[in-house]
């Protein structure tokens, strides 16, 4: 009988620990293949743990336990044993066999085995059994307590776990205790009854199992968790980083490339989940693929975030184990990034300490704040008739060439600089020239400062030349940046999206590439879902707010088109830019009758503001009704009251024009920012008839009413001189 000795506090230091348990009714053999030094222990009773030396003979440990050791020093067979404790210092694999029921369980350690550097002694990993039958968790510990570990009488209290096969019986119940890294489950194959006999052996299955066991490699690091066994001290391990590039998963091969759609086939059964990011290997540049569909036969269909020119079948693709992750934080301010977080401003890498996935759930309802507050923009027609909500969603609707981008640039100039917080500009499917102009303009105005870290804006671009996958995700990239500033730093963030229609358009392209049946007007059937998933993340919480201004292109000036119509449901205010008004030369070409805001309420903006706004809208509506009469009969056929209505309405219409600072190079007029109080007083005076004596042209392209008076005097002087 080999000499047995009690363990001490250093006997297990540097070893991984594994418990094996069987029942009395069956005999099981365990083939434990270990690469490295190892030790065996027997649980003699609740408090004692006896170490055994490597011998061939069978020791008598206790009255109810017997251990038989094979001559092979790295294998052992256990028969009718209540518990065995194994300690080892390197990778392992385990095969459990039921001698009487012809059952073979193979546990492949690719998900569960820990790793220690060669020749070193690291922290042991405790892999105990949870007696309650729930999933045990690993415990990283650099020391063991001075006393022997307390182990319960597992033979009497251990809940049995039945085999999944229909032929399993009570005599073929095995309870094997081990823990899985990161709460995963080990890969277990059950070979049918009798398959191990020579005449019925499934050699291909057995050989495949042996190959997998032999080829299994350590994959995941040791992490800290709560202890499941008394007597072992818990020591916190370093928290694992969650960067996508550090969680490499399975490797697959490209099977099909059709434009932006790439099909990837994997060998294993664990396919990457939907929305996971894959990276193409040996491509010369970083090419990210996002999983969109599972096709069967271990194949996933992905959408490329960049051009696929040069891809070939058979090229290796690795699963990053997470969705697309981007750098976030103050390091991104003043920088331009693309959809996958790479800098594209030629100013070197971004030194961000944090990365976040672009796909996230919206804030819980209880965490949101719904107190309305007016955001003053300095643009007269907006502040009076369709005021914006701080922390709300604002839509800029208009056809091509009516001034949506210029309007957004003016808002950045007026609001972002006066606001003092951070801004994120997201260019979705628009012109590269406009993005370049915006970047240099921000540098000139001081919003972006290249020589220090005082920049106030970050830019995210996925322009017209990008594939549909990038254009469909770049809005989420910009939103993720804004969410970080809101949730982690408590900022009130301004998020500008130009153009939200391109987000819908890219989603339609992706949907067609994936073979989905189109819906109304050819849009994707998931249009409402895609839009809602993004818009619901733009909200105000108790920590901070995101105020979003979104340019919405209206195809063929049709507001009933499904794309803009779906967007309306999520907006707090809509500013409609009209082609008819732009043809009159009035900029911004805001339609005062079609533009709406839920904040135009006397309880929010005040009674005076509300009364003046509604009076202006009534005046313009009356003028619109008289235009047909004027076109047919002329002004002379109108009554005196109608003539006065037309004169004041035309002055109001021209007074709604305003010179923009960002368009000064084109108009030659200095930009004007009008306070809300001056706006209300100016329109109030026009309605009251205080300025009926001033010429109509004096109200065109000016700021407050004082500018109107000055311009009228200037015009009068010019006429007098002529």
pLDDT digits (tens, 9 = 90+) for 251-290: 999 999 999 999 999 987 788 999 999 999 888 889 999 9
DSSP labels, 179-228: --GGG---EEEEEPTTTTSGGG--HHHHHHHHHHHHH----S--------
What is the pLDDT at residue 32? 52
Task: List, in order, residues 6 or more apart from 352 with CB less than 8 Å away.
Answer: 327, 328, 329, 331, 332
Catalytic residues: 404, 430-431
Q: Which residues pair with 607 in a beta bridge?
A: none
- Contact call for residues 489 and 328 (beta carbons, < 8 A): no
Return the structure tokens found at 375.
């955001």
Residue partners of 312: CB distance under 8 A and separation at least 6? 254, 257
C-alpha–C-alpha distance, residues 42 and 665, integer Å: 86
**From CA 549, how far away is CA 499, in angstroms rounded?**
10
Q: pLDDT tens digit string along 150-178?
A: 333 323 332 333 333 333 322 222 223 33
Q: Would you state the pLDDT for residue 128?
A: 34
> Mean pLDDT over all residues of the chain?
73
Contact between residue 410 and residue 423 where contact means Cβ atoms under 8 Å apart: no
Same topology for domains 244-325 and 610-721, yes or no? no
Topology at the third CATH level for domain 326-350+375-600: Rossmann fold (3.40.50)
Using the predicted structure, report yes or no on whether residue 460 has a pLDDT greater than 60. yes
Enumerate the H helices of 317-428 as residue ranges.
380-385, 404-411, 417-419
Side-chain half-sphere CA neighbours of 650 within 13 A: 14
Cα radius of gyration (the chain): 36
Domain boundaries, the chain: 5-215, 244-325, 326-350+375-600, 610-721
Per-residue tokens: 60: 């008598």
Q: What local confidence, expressed as pLDDT, does residue 388 receive?
A: 93
The residue that leads in pLDDT, 390 or 383, is 383
- Render pLDDT for 402-437 as a digit per residue (tens, 0 to 9): 888 788 888 888 876 676 778 999 999 888 888 898
- The architecture CATH gives domain 244-325: Beta Barrel (2.40)
Separation between Cα atoms, residue 432 and residue 418, nearest integer Å: 27
Q: What is the pLDDT of residues 349-369, one digit of tens each?
A: 999 999 999 999 999 989 888
> Does the reported pTM lie above 0.85?
no
Write out the DSSP string of 487-522.
Answer: HTT--EEEEEEE-HHHHHHHHHHHHHHTTPPP-GGG
Strand partners, 590: 577
Is 1.10.1140.10 the CATH classification of the domain at 610-721? yes
Please check whether residue 573 is in contact with residue 387, taking contact to mean a CB–CB distance below 8 angstroms: yes
Does 602 sit behind a cis peptide bond, omega within 30 degrees of 0 on the bond before it? no
């Amino acid at each position: 009988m080999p000499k047995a000795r009690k363990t001490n506090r250093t006997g297990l230091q540097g070893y991984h620990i594994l418990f094996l348990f069987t029942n009395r009714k069956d005999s099981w053999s365990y083939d434990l293949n270990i690469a490295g030094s190892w030790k065996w222990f027997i649980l003699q009773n609740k408090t004692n743990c006896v170490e055994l030396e490597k011998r061939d003979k069978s020791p008598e440990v206790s009255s109810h336990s017997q251990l038989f050791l094979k001559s092979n020093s790295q294998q052992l067979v256990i028969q009718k044993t209540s518990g065995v404790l194994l300690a080892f210092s390197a990778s392992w694999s385990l095969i459990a066999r039921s001698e009487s029921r012809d059952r073979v369980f193979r546990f492949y350690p690719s998900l569960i085995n820990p790793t220690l550097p060669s020749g070193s002694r690291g922290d042991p990993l405790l892999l105990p059994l949870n007696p309650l039958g729930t999933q045990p968790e690993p415990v990283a510990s650099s020391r063991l307590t001075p006393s022997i570990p307390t182990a319960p009488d597992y033979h009497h209290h251990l809940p049995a776990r039945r085999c999944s096969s229909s032929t399993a019986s009570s005599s073929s119940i095995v309870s094997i205790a081990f823990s899985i890294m990161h709460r995963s489950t080990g890969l277990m194959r059950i070979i049918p009854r009798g398959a191990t006999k020579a005449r019925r052996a499934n050699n291909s299955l057995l050989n495949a199992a042996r190959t997998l066991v032999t080829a299994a490699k350590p994959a995941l690091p040791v992490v800290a968790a709560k202890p499941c066994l008394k007597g072992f001290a818990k020591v916190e391990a370093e928290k694992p980083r969650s960067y996508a590039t550090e969680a490499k998963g399975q490797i697959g091969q490209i099977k099909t490339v059709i434009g932006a759609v790439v099909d990837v086939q994997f060998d294993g059964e664990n396919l990457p989940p939907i929305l996971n990011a894959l990276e193409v290997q040996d491509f010369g540049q970083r090419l990210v693929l996002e999983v969109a569909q599972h096709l069967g036969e271990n194949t996933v269909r992905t959408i490329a975030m960049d051009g696929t020119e040069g891809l070939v079948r058979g090229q290796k693709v690795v699963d990053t184990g997470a969705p697309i992750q981007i750098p976030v934080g103050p390091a991104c301010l003043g920088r331009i990034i693309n959809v996958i977080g790479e800098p594209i401003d030629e100013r070197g890498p971004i030194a961000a300490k944090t990365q976040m996935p672009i796909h996230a759930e919206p804030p819980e309802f209880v965490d949101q704040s719904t107190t309305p507050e007016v955001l003053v923009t300095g643009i007269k027609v907006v502040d009076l008739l369709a005021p914006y909500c701080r922390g709300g969603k604002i839509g800029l609707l208009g056809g091509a060439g009516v001034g949506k981008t210029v309007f957004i640039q003016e808002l950045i100039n007026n609001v972002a600089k006066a606001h003092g917080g951070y801004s994120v500009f997201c260019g979705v499917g628009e012109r590269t020239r406009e993005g370049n102009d915006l970047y240099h303009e921000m540098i000139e105005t001081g919003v972006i400062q290249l020589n220090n870290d005082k920049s106030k804006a970050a830019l995210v671009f996925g322009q017209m030349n990008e594939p549909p996958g990038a254009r469909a995700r770049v809005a989420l990239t910009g939103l993720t940046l804004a969410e970080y500033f809101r949730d982690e730093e408590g900022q009130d963030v301004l998020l500008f999206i130009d153009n939200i229609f391109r987000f819908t358009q890219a989603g339609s392209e992706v949907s067609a590439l994936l073979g989905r049946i189109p819906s109304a007007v050819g849009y994707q059937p998931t249009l409402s879902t895609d839009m809602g998933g993004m818009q619901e993340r733009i909200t105000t919480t108790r920590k901070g707010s995101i105020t979003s201004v979104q340019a919405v292109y209206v195809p063929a000036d049709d507001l009933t088109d499904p794309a803009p119509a779906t967007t309306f449901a999520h907006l707090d205010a809509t500013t409609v830019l009209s082609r008819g008004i732009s043809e009159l030369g009035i900029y911004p070409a805001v339609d005062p009758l079609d533009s709406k805001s839920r904040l135009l309420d006397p309880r929010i903006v005040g009674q005076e503001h509300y009364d003046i706004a509604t009076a202006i809208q009534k005046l313009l509506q009356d003028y619109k009704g008289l235009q047909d009469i004027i076109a047919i009969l002329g002004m002379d056929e109108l009554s005196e009251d109608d003539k006065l209505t037309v004169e004041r309405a035309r002055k109001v219409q021209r007074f709604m024009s305003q010179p923009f600072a960002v368009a000064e190079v084109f108009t030659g007029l200095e930009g004007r920012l009008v306070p809300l109080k001056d706006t209300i007083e100016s329109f109030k005076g026009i309605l009251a008839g205080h300025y009926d004596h001033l010429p109509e042209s004096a109200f065109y392209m000016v700021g407050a009413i004082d500018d109107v008076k000055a311009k009228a005097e200037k015009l009068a002087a010019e006429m007098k001189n002529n």
